[in-house]
Structure 1
């Protein structure tokens, strides 16, 4: 297990370097000159001043040397400073946004797992019924709906029309912090973010449980007179949950993509909102830092998912 984890970790580091190279290259290929993000268009600068600024920022060097310089600083924990917030280091800015994003994604993941497993089990037990058909259609709609569309519809219904939930933010401005106020702001964006994951888990849970219920050991348990409740929960459900472990890990990337839209719509102060603001203002250091941190989170979650799957199912061998 240790050898497997180390090998996956090394592969993950290689993937992070490849990701950083790709993002660095794409940012340089965007229209415009990177130096434009550092200057005030209302303040005239001479060609000599522009050349000095370009030299001080290292933008006069070839692109490979610029990347190697950034990578060397990144390995030492220095991701530079934000262009629009010159007094704030990128690392501190990114770390300050991780907490809200983890809270949002963690809550959405819990909702998705509970709802997806419960609905999937119900649909498998009541297969081909009217309820099964309804949940199947609902799951299909949930998988097909883009995150931004779900966010806008949910915001309009529950905030604008019904006034049940706040329309944005993490806390009520001007009020002291309280857990109840935080939960009140968290419920709607977390529920909307969980829709796609819950729909996927529902489909996989239903299919997996139906397959397990047709196994011989389940028929044997029923033939022995074991109550149907115990047949499902004790004999079938545990084995049916194994594919869900891998599915949850593989949908983290989907959740991160959805979180970017959810945070933008609800003005949730997390990594997604930070990344969107950085793209709009062409804040290159923040884009690189936020992307690198997101990549680290995805790789770590996938590694933990593989290890968890091997622990849950002893039949799985890692080598």
Structure 2
């Protein structure tokens, strides 16, 4: 197992480098010049050249990339074009905000999805199964921006029981209760999709498991239904479920962009929209790096969990 982990880590290094090269090219080839946003229309050629030099974009792409890579190795992600603050100083606060939203979303999603998926599989083609399946298709189909605006209109504007957005009340104490209230609506919006998606996977996995011979053998032996379900059924269904979870977590970084923008949640998603509008290359590269690392890390964790839940898998 140790050799396998080392091998996977060594493989991820060139993959990560290729991802950063691709992202750097795409970001720098985007239409527009950052200097247009930070200098007046009447600026002279000399002033424009000075601004480009101060932003570090006056040199060819390969030189810019290798300078960025050298700074990255030293723990420096550059300065934000918009705020002129070190990206490495701002990034942790944005990650914490997004991770908080992701954690609450995943907790709600999987606590609901796993039992509902099992119930749906047990009641296959019955009323309960059709009801759960229908609601899950609705949760997958409804757009985040529409659902989010609908919840704001109902619970914030009409009922006035929840805040419209932000992470805490401006001028308030910023305590746990206040943050939990701000977390409810964006969590519901994100959980609607991820819970519905997981229900479908759990249902399909459990239907396949229930048809296996060892499940019928366990029933014929007179084992308790709960032991058969959790000891033989759910345990063997974990491999596809882990696969979905390992893809959901990195995907949520992108899926949270719309939700964070709607609810003005100060996480990576909202920061990315601001960086795109400001052509803030260092911020965009930092966000792309975080997304790439999260994908590689959770894919590795998924492979390790496969061996933990299924003894037949060996590395």
Do they fold alike, i.e. is TM over 0.5?
yes
User: C-alpha offsets along residues 132-164 of structure 1, whole Å, 9 cap, x if unaligned?
Assistant: 111112222222333333322332333233333
Deviations 1:156-206 (A, max 9, x none): 333233333221011122221321221111122112112222112111111
C-alpha distance in 1 between matches for 2:190 and 2:100: 12
The 4+ residue runs of structure 1 with deviation greater than 4 A are none
Is 1:201–1:247's contact at 8 Å kept on the other side of the alignment?
yes
Matched, 1:193 2:199: no
Report the Cα distance in structure 2 between the residues aligned to 1:56 and 1:230, rounded to whole angstroms: 66
- Say yes or no: does 1:40 pair with 2:39: yes
**Equivalent pair of 2:194/2:248 in contact (CA under 8 Å):** yes
Root-mean-square deviation over aligned CA pairs: 1.9
User: Counterparts of 1:73 and 1:239 in 2: how far apart (Å)?
Assistant: 46
Residues 269 and 129 of structure 1, relative CA distance in 2, 3 Å threshold: same
> Equivalents in 2 of 1:108, 1:255: separation in Å?
9
Q: Does 1:309 align with 2:311?
A: no
Change (3 A) 1:52 1:255: closer
1:246 deviates by 1.4
In structure 2, runs of 5+ residues without a counterpart are none
**How big is each residue's C-alpha offset from its partner over 1:226-275, in whole Å with a ceiling of 9 and x where there is no partner?**
33333222321211223111110012233122211111111111111111
> Could you tell me which residue of structure 2 aligns to residue 164 of structure 1?
161
Take 1:47 and 1:147, find their aligned partners in 2: how far apart are those partners?
45
The answer to whether the 8 A contact 2:35-2:52 is kept is yes
Residue 80 of structure 1 contacts residue 89 of structure 1 at CA under 8 Å; is this kept in 2? yes
Q: Contact (CA 8 Å) 1:80, 1:90: kept in 2 or not?
A: yes
User: Is residue 251 from structure 1 mapped to residue 248 from structure 2 by the alignment?
Assistant: yes
Q: Which residue of 2 aligns with 1:133?
A: 130
Equivalent in the alignment of 2:18:
18
The answer on whether the counterparts of 1:142 and 1:195 sit within 8 Å (CA) in structure 2 is yes
1:9 matched to 2:9? The reply is: yes
Alpha carbons 1:150, 1:192 under 8 Å: kept = yes
- Greater Cα shift, 118-127 or 54-63: 54-63
Aligned to 1:173: 170
Task: Flag structure 1 segments of 5+ consecutive residues without an equivalent.
Answer: none
